[in-house]
Amino acid sequence: MALNEITITKAIVERFSQKFLEYTEVDTAIVGAGPSGLVAAYFLAKAGNKVAIFERKLSVGGGMWGGGMMFNEIVVQKEGKEILDIFNIRTEEYQPDYYTADAVESITTIASYATRAGAKVFNCMSVEDVMIRENRVTGLVINWSPVEMTGIHVDPLTIRARNVIDTTGHANEVLRVIERKADMKLNTETGKVMGERSLWADKAERLTIENTKKICPGVFVAGMSANAAFGGPRMGPIFGGMLLSGKKVAELIVAEDQKIRT
């Protein structure tokens, strides 16, 4: 049978449109498909959450793809290795409490687990605003990343979400929009994004997990976004805290949902 180009086009447009329409209302919208966002998506989807991830780039994985300075190996500590073990990712001990893993295997495997659990990834989409009702973030305002990059005027579309997770890394993209446009204080010492400090791996790894929490009504923060929001240091190319943060934020949302139901 000869292939028909129009059938191929229709298949892509119809199936994507069907998927997109189904995910215009979700339980949790995750902004940023780095390691913490993908881990959170996996555990949330596995718990029955309807999860959509919005990633401005063509590829997922955030900074994990490049390991350290494009040497595509990552380092995790013992606790981080336990998260990689959940995804059956191969690790090798380097020294006591230091384990290495292939960066490409790690991110592709986590992404596969997350999508197979039911999370949907919408790449090449940027968040340019949020929706707020009664002093609570209730959704996202999204547009194609190429529209943002070229600076042309194209009106956005919206996604309704009961929970939003900012996992945009150093930039705190969602929180910066809230800070700039909404009359809403963040759950930080200053009520605003406090900004990332200089690299300190040990302290940053601990604070990444500690700072993973709800930061304002309807919004949680995880991964490097958590440290940038609360004024913690960056951690460099060690990824255990990112993985653990993704698991923790999923657990916080599941626990909150259960509390609401009861």
User: Does 180 fall in a domain?
Assistant: yes
Query: For position 202, what pLDDT does the model report?
Result: 95
User: Does 123 fall in a domain?
Assistant: yes
User: Does 11 fall in a domain?
Assistant: no
What is the domain-level CATH number for residue 144? 3.50.50.60
pLDDT at 259 over 90: no
3-state SS assignment for residue 237: coil
User: Does 37 fall in a domain?
Assistant: yes
Domains contained in the chain, number: 1
Alpha carbon 89 to chain centroid, angstroms: 20
> Of the candidates 41, 55, 66, which has an alpha carbon nearest to the alpha carbon of residue 168?
55
User: Does 7 fall in a domain?
Assistant: no
> Of the candidates 208, 202, 235, 233, which has an alpha carbon nearest to the alpha carbon of residue 222?
208
Alpha carbon 99 to chain centroid, angstroms: 23
User: Does 3 fall in a domain?
Assistant: no
- Strand-pairing partners, residue 93, are 99
Look up the domain containing 242 and give its range.
26-254
Please write the tens of the pLDDT for every residue from 123-152.
999 999 999 999 999 999 999 999 999 999
pLDDT at 5 over 80: yes
Query: For position 139, what pLDDT does the model report?
Result: 98
> Of the candidates 164, 257, 141, which has an alpha carbon nearest to the alpha carbon of residue 215?
164
User: Does 141 fall in a domain?
Assistant: yes
> Of the candidates 194, 196, 227, which has an alpha carbon nearest to the alpha carbon of residue 209?
227
The two structure tokens encoding residue 22: 């189904």
| Percent of the chain clearing pLDDT 90 (strictly above) | 97
To the nearest whole number, what is the mean pLDDT of the chain? 96
User: Does 2 fall in a domain?
Assistant: no
Query: For position 209, what pLDDT does the model report?
Result: 97
